[in-house]
Structure 1
Amino acid sequence: MRKADVPNTTWVLSVDPNFLYLVRVHFCDIVSKALNSLALNFYLNSDNVLRTLNLSSITGNLRVPYYQDFVSNSSAGTLTVSVGPDSMAADIAKAILNGLEVFEIRNESRSSGVPISVGNNTHPSSPSKKNNIGIIVGSSVGAVAFMAIIGLVYCGLAFRRYSV
């Protein structure tokens, strides 16, 4: 069994210690064949900031992009980013990180080095089926109503011509 909370992939980035950094991480489970078969931990400067991240439980499906933003600084001049499998999911020995963006932002408050989460978002791969059904039903009802109005106007004009 592997050691708990040990990342399996790490990047060490040289950064200016006088700045804060917005770190955006992108995940998309393109390797699993079934839901709930990938759980991972994400570390920022050795802090486990995403613990037991199960992408399919968040997105509801496989191959759906998801991102999370963090703000951190580094007084040591390096920003360490790591990803690893979750120790609680002993049968799952893989972790993924599809994209990493690091933005330098001004640190006027000189805040502490503790990373903070500033939001997340999923990008659905396709519109929901409920949304599609509503569009189809609404369009069909509108088309039938439009055709009925055109038919009534045509019949009214035809009736006037023959009655005069």
Structure 2
Amino acid sequence: MNQVEERLAQPFYLKMMGLNARAEIDELWDDLVVAGRSAGLAEVTQLLRPGHWRPLVMGAWFSLKFDRDQVGDALTEAVSSCQGSLTAPPLAVATATILGPDASAPLMTYATSETGQMDGSGAFVAAVVESVDPARASLVLEDRDLEAAAEMLGLARRLRDAWFSS
């Protein structure tokens, strides 16, 4: 593990992976916001590189600190190499928050992929797409996925607002 991962991923990834942020973010809030303020663009894009899932989880969350021209391509690439339910929710909400409707195509590619279908994360990702581009969400969605997506997107906006307001 390198220094960037020790500082930005290690303290947070277990509580921010998958859908865990829904229950855990308030406990981490102050430390997460402070860490995000210190996270540079090069560090966040390093975390977003394909590889191990732990840095990828936090790269997705910390990417919310930046604009689409800074992290949009890295997020899209990370979605295309997403390996399942530990990384898919944070990647989906970050990508949708930053790219808006432009996130729909890569997210739906993941949602309908074998990985997305096999581990169930595809339905959550499609629910995220439903929120930013309803015409593109082509899966039948359950209320639990729509509710989880709405809550996670709210957390993403809350983090983004905290970093942009400071």
Same fold (TM over 0.5): no
Which structure is richer in relative contact order (CA contacts within 8 A, separation 6 or more)? 1
Smaller-chain TM-score bracket: under 0.3
- TM-score (normalizing by structure 1): 0.22
More strand by share: 1
